[in-house]
Homo-oligomer: A and B are copies of this chain.
Amino acid sequence: MKTYREENYLKAVYQLANHDKSKTVSPTDIANWLEVKPPTVLEKLAILVKKGYVTYNKFDGARLTTTGKDIALNIVRRHRIWETYLYKELKFSWSEVHEIAEQLEHINSDKLIDRIYDVIGNPDFDPHGDPIPNKQGKLPKSDRRPLSQSIKGCKCVVLGVSEHSEVFLNYLTELKIGLNDKLIVEQINAYDDSLKLSTKTKEHILMSAKAAQQILVQCIKPNCACK
Selected contact of A115 from candidates B91, B104, B112, B116, CB within 8 Å: B91
| Residues of A near any B CB (own CB < 8 A) | 86, 90-92, 96, 99-100, 103-104, 107-109, 111-112, 115-116, 119
Contact A96 B108 (CB under 8 A): no
User: How far is it, in angstroms, between the C-alpha of A115 and the C-alpha of B87 when the chains are bound?
Assistant: 12
Q: How many monomers of this protein are in the complex?
A: 2
Residues of B within 8 A of A100 (CB): 107, 109, 111-112
Selected contact of A107 from candidates B103, B109, B116, CB within 8 Å: B103
Which chain B residue shows the least CB distance to A96? B111
Residues of B within 8 A of A99 (CB): 109
User: How far is it, in angstroms, between the C-alpha of A107 and the C-alpha of B109 when the chains are bound?
Assistant: 14
User: How far is it, in angstroms, between the C-alpha of A116 and the C-alpha of B89 when the chains are bound?
Assistant: 10
Residues of B within 8 A of A115 (CB): 90-92
Selected contact of A90 from candidates B86, B91, B119, CB within 8 Å: B119
Query: Measured between C-beta atoms, what is the minimum distance from A3 to chain B in Å?
Result: 12
Selected contact of A103 from candidates B86, B109, B116, CB within 8 Å: B109
Residues of B within 8 A of A112 (CB): 86, 90, 100
19 CB-based A-B contacts, threshold 8 Å: A86-B112, A90-B112, A90-B115, A90-B116, A90-B119, A91-B115, A92-B111, A92-B115, A96-B111, A99-B109, A100-B107, A100-B109, A100-B111, A100-B112, A103-B107, A103-B108, A103-B109, A104-B107, A107-B107
Residues of B within 8 A of A109 (CB): 99-100, 103
Q: A96-B111, A100-B112, A103-B109 are in contact. List 12 more A-B contacts (CB 8 A).
A: A90-B115, A90-B119, A91-B115, A92-B111, A92-B115, A99-B109, A100-B107, A100-B109, A100-B111, A103-B107, A103-B108, A107-B107
Query: Measured between C-beta atoms, what is the minimum distance from A102 to chain B in Å?
Result: 10
Query: Measured between C-beta atoms, what is the minimum distance from A104 to chain B in Å?
Result: 6
User: How far is it, in angstroms, between the C-alpha of A104 and the C-alpha of B86 when the chains are bound?
Assistant: 14
Residues of B within 8 A of A90 (CB): 112, 115-116, 119
User: How far is it, in angstroms, between the C-alpha of A116 and the C-alpha of B107 when the chains are bound?
Assistant: 17
Which chain B residue shows the least CB distance to A116? B90
